[in-house]
Amino acid sequence: MKTWLITGASSGLGRLMSERLLARGDRVLACIRREQAMADLQQTYGEQLQIVALDLAQTDRIAPTIADAFKAVERIDVVVSNAAYGLFGAAEELSDAQIDRQIATNLTGSIQLIRAVIPLLRQQGGGRIAQISSEGGQVAYPNFSLYHASKWGIEGFVEAVRQEVASFGIDFLLVEPGPTATNFATGLDIADALEVYRDNASGQLRRAILSGDFTIAGDAGKCVTAMIETLDKPSMPLRLALGSTAYQHIEAALESRLAELRAQRDVAFGADV
């Protein structure tokens, strides 16, 4: 039996993952904002499911709350940093408050969670951290600039920290789902539209999202299965792309970036001393 700590466990991929893990006999520490949001599962699984009240936007509460969670169990094998949401709108359309909340939840909250669990994992001899990112950690859509900023940011953070803590037996997995049938779209924080963007790429994507015409190919259940199977393996990749959309978009982006880089080789080398 493994013990998992999962943030954002009350909905979406976090909820599905919790359900699967509990059903197979693992223990779950579910970090959620509303303590009653998983009352049904707690009634079914009892002490196998422990509720941890935590809002990642309240960064000063993360470290003490996580420390108490670790004290309550002998060991936490896997920490899943899943809590996040999408902010939608052209950069000019977003308010300062919307931007601050997006960065606080998706980026600063995830960073502080990882910082809080590292010494605890180190003290117990290691463990794994799964950071739920997105294909949006490597590619970009119009109207998701701040969401991408948070995901590109957390991926860079994880790449660096992974090197710092590998010798302690701590490993990371960046999970990069493409558009997936969860409640992500219904939970979007949508900025008020400016008329000037109506007929460009921003306006086109806004209409596709709000009308339901935006293609969503990913299956949430299959994504969760792949995540658990990967985290159960003796060794893991750093990144796990999930869904055909994610794979195709990331592959195209990497190929384009590599081609552009190689075309600049002489310029790059020419800048040396």
Distance CA 72, CA 67 (A): 9
Told to judge if 233 belongs to the known catalytic residues of this protein, a careful annotator would answer no
- The catalytic position among 45, 85, 141, 147 is 147
- The catalytic position among 81, 133, 134, 202 is 133
Told to judge if 133 belongs to the known catalytic residues of this protein, a careful annotator would answer yes
Told to judge if 211 belongs to the known catalytic residues of this protein, a careful annotator would answer no
Q: Which helix (H) or strand (E) holds 53?
A: strand 49-53
Closest to 34 in 3D by CA, of 60, 48, 17, 15:
15
C-alpha angle 243/81/125, rounded to 5°? 115
Structure tokens at 165: 């803590």
In whole angstroms, how large is the CA radius of gyration of the chain?
20
DSSP string, 93-151: G--HHHHHHHIIIIIIHHHHHHHHHHHHHHHHT-EEEEEE--GGGTS--TT-HHHHHHH
Active site residues: 133, 147, 151
